[in-house]
Amino acid sequence: MGQHKNRGNEWHPKGNPELVKVHDFPDPNLPKASPYGVYDISTNTGWVSVGTEHDTAEFAVETIRRWWLSMGRINHPNAKKLLIMADGGGSNGSRNKLWKTELQKLADELSMEISVCHFPPGTSKWNKIEHRMFSCISMNWRGRPLTNYETIVNLISNTTTKNGLKINCKLDESKYQTGIKITDEQMQDLRLTKDKFHGEWNYKLKPHE
């Protein structure tokens, strides 16, 4: 975040260009923005949390929680199960133990079974959230420096398409710790069942009784 170049063209009054820095090296003195999103295929709606801290598994699951409480349960009042299509790496990676333990907490909280299907390595470009939501966000803020949180949240919230895409975006100022270690006991406590087909990528978590 800062007065950095953002690819794309945008109209400005003649002789009054937007001055930006040539390089976008990270500046430790500037705040950080970490967007994480949920895209609902059936309703063509999305939710994006803009974090001010690290992009951790705890932050990722909190975003899913906020989407469900704010949009998901309203759009799907009769839902009894939740299916998550996620990339294979990063904060929601298939090998991320914290991701699975946080999802277990969410399943317990919602009393709902959560199924997860990870895209295999190198195939995340097929994830519909990339070309149906995030690409639209990138086009909407093209040529505009992302100088502050208000600008980022407003540009994401105002992103629409001819097909009716609508996005809710909120700032998440919670602090998320990095380097959290998950013990074997915590993993054994998960009500996790692996699918017969590539169980390392496809599994479900049932809530505790």
Domain boundaries, the chain: 34-205
Give the span between the Cα atoms of 49 and 63, in whole angstroms: 6
Q: Measuring CA to CA, how many Å separate 161 from each of 45, 76, 140, 144?
A: 11, 22, 10, 19
> 């700032």: which residue's tokens?
171
Angle at 84 (CA atoms; ends 76, 117), nearest 5 degrees: 145
131, burial (CB in 10 Å: exposed 0-12, middle 13-18, buried 19+): exposed
pLDDT tens digits in sequence order for the chain, 209 residues long? 666 666 666 666 777 767 767 666 666 777 788 999 999 999 999 999 999 989 999 999 999 999 999 999 999 999 999 999 999 999 999 999 999 999 999 999 999 999 999 999 889 888 999 999 999 998 887 767 777 899 999 999 999 999 999 999 999 999 999 999 999 999 999 999 999 999 999 999 999 98
The model's pTM: 0.88
The residues with which 204 forms a beta bridge, in sequence order, are 115, 193
